[in-house]
Structure 1
Amino acid sequence: MQRIAYYFAYPILWIVSILPFPIFYFVSDCIKVIIYNIIGYRKKTVRSNIELAFPNLSKKERLAIEKKSYRHLCDMFMEMVKTMTISKKEIQKRFRFTNLDLFEEYEDKGKSIILFYAHYASWEWSVTLGTYIRFKGFGIYKRIKNPYFDHLMRSIRSRFDATLLDTKHTVKEVTENQNKGILGVYGFISDQTPGGSSRAKYWDTFLGHEVPIHTGGEMLARHLDMNVLYMKVKKIKRGYYEATFIPITDNNIETLPEFEVSRRFIREVEKQIYEAPEYYFWTHKRWKFKRNKKKK
């Protein structure tokens, strides 16, 4: 059944990927009507999340964020599909970096780099970074259960000189690269709920509520003495994005308190969301875990 689903879906996805952009985004609008207005995909979760994050906004204001977020969500899915066939020139025109010189400075330091970013604006088209850098680019991702769609996902995200690492093998492969002297940049999307959250090592406030925080990227950076950058992605207009690198560490990670790197990262994500909340990925249940308080 998994193979049948793949062979049925692939030609449809390919045809969609070659559509001219005006028609392409018209299709995205149609999908938005289906999943938001008809199916109501995770609408309760999205509405609850936005209310938790913005309790001071009126119901009308939160509803406006909700509707815009679904339009962007559909664009994100469509743009992932577009990556199947989009040209290098086109994707570089649509996803620009404002300060690649800073990234080059970090490469000159001679240390591998942990690159944090969020489920915000566009993480799919950030793969174009691999066409600019000297280091080998790696993206950390969670394997898809259907092996055929997993292969497709790896192919799509690897078109622009990036290699995907399964989360289960990340530590081993990154350590092996370091031992071999392979300098790399490792992309971590670490803004959502970590697995095994009841045993999370670090909790912090996120949009006004205490949540467990991913610390894997920080722990890896400390263990292997890597530098850390945050990639802030801004949506300029439909189909166009701008990314800016923000330093988290600068050859000094060993001097920072434990979890300080993770704290700085989550603060940067918050700033983005408060600036334009409609471009965040609200369908995830970010606040489903609460810390168990120890009895006195």
Structure 2
Amino acid sequence: MQFLVYIIVYPLLWLISMLPFKLLYAFSDVLYFFVYKIFGYRAAVVKENLSLVFPEKSDVEIKEIMRKFYHHLCDMIVEALKSLTISKKEMQKRFTFTNIEELKQHEENNRSVILMCAHYGSWEWIFVLQTYVKSKGYAVYKRLGNPYFDKLVKRIRAKFNSYLITTKETAEALLTAKRNNELTINGFVSDQSPKPYKAHHWQNFMGIKVPVHTGAELLAKRFDMSVVYFGVKRVKRGYYETTFTTLAVQPNDFKDYEITDKFLKLTEEQIYADPHYYLWTHKRWKHRDKVPPEFQ
């Protein structure tokens, strides 16, 4: 059944990816109408999240952020589909880096990198980064339920020497690379909410105390890798600009969770600057009422 779904859906996805960008974004506008206006995909979650972190904003302001957010969400969906057929040249034109030398310096110093980011701006085309560096790229992801689509996503990322690994595979992959003296750049989207009983650290995020993922920092310390944050700015529709910020060159010189807190602060700054580019559909603050006494 899963293979049947794949062979039926894949040709449609491929045809959409072949559309020129002008038509692709026209399709995104139609998708926005159905996703937001007709079906209201997770609209209650989005409104609750925005009301939690922006209590000072009026209903009119919240609705305006929601409108812009759903437009951007649909753009990211079609851009992900475009990854099937987009050329290297086109992707390099649309996803640029303001200070690629920041990463290259770590590479020249023979250091692997933990690359931390949030669900902000766009992360779909970040794998074009591998066309500018020599280090092998890994990105931690959640395996898709359909194995055929899972292989497809992996194949797309591998076009530019970037490979997807699950959370369970991460430590072994980094250990193997270290043993082989292989430089790597390892991407972590670190702003989601872990289960409370698994959380080692709670911190204020957008003014609300929540459990925080600390895996990126712990692995950086375990394997002695530099930690770099990448922030994405939307320049205009279909064009993004990424800036790197080094959080730690020698991670073991930092107190526990200090690097993670620096990451959260930079993420907050981006969200406050342009809130409609954050992924508000996730229940990031769902555990806010479960703060253990030792973290209150």
TM-score under structure 1 length normalisation: 0.97
Aligned to 1:209: 208
Report if the CA contact (8 A) 1:94-1:240 is conserved.
yes
**C-alpha distance in 2, partners of 1:197/1:146?**
28
Q: Which is worse superposed, 171-180 or 268-277?
A: 171-180
1:266 is matched by which residue type in structure 2? L
Aligned to 1:109: 109
Aligned to 2:26: 26
SS in 1 for 2:68: helix
**C-alpha distance in 2, partners of 1:158/1:65?**
35
SS in 2 for 1:96: strand
Report if the CA contact (8 A) 1:50-1:282 is conserved.
yes
2:191 is matched by which residue type in structure 1? D
Aligned to 1:197: 196
SS in 2 for 1:159: helix
**C-alpha distance in 2, partners of 1:155/1:221?**
27
SS in 1 for 2:245: strand
**C-alpha distance in 1, partners of 2:215/2:23?**
41
Aligned to 1:12: 12
Q: Which is worse superposed, 158-167 or 214-223?
A: 158-167
Taking the TM superposition and a 5 Å limit, the aligned residue runs for 1:156-175 are: 156-175=156-175
Aligned to 2:226: 227
Asked if 1:236 corresponds to 2:230, the answer is no
Q: Could you give the per-residue CA deviations for residues 92-146 of structure 1, whole angstroms, max 9, x where no partner exists?
A: 0000000011111111121110000111111011111011011111111111111
Aligned to 1:255: 253
**C-alpha distance in 1, partners of 2:24/2:226?**
39
Q: Could you give the per-residue CA deviations for residues 153-203 of structure 1, whole angstroms, max 9, x where no partner exists?
A: 111222222111111211111111111111100000011112x33230001
SS in 2 for 1:158: helix
**C-alpha distance in 1, partners of 2:170/2:218?**
12
Aligned to 1:120: 120
**C-alpha distance in 2, partners of 1:153/1:68?**
27
SS in 2 for 1:122: coil
SS in 1 for 2:164: strand
Aligned to 1:54: 54
**C-alpha distance in 2, partners of 1:256/1:244?**
23
Which of 282, 285, 288 lines up with 1:284 in the alignment? 282
Q: Which is worse superposed, 72-81 or 148-157?
A: 148-157
Shift of 1:293: 2.9
Shift of 1:58: 1.2
2:242 is matched by which residue type in structure 1? A
Q: Which is worse superposed, 268-277 or 159-168?
A: 159-168
Q: Could you give the per-residue CA deviations for residues 232-264 of structure 1, whole angstroms, max 9, x where no partner exists?
A: 1100011000000001002x3222110011110
The number of aligned residues is 292
SS in 2 for 1:16: helix
**C-alpha distance in 2, partners of 1:6/1:254?**
45
**C-alpha distance in 2, partners of 1:161/1:223?**
24
User: What runs of 5+ residues in structure 1 fail to find an aligned partner?
Assistant: none
SS in 2 for 1:41: coil
Report if the CA contact (8 A) 1:124-1:157 is conserved.
no
**C-alpha distance in 2, partners of 1:261/1:97?**
23
CA RMSD of aligned residues (A): 1.0
Report if the CA contact (8 A) 1:198-1:291 is conserved.
no
Report if the CA contact (8 A) 1:97-1:244 is conserved.
yes
2:33 is matched by which residue type in structure 1? V
Aligned to 1:98: 98
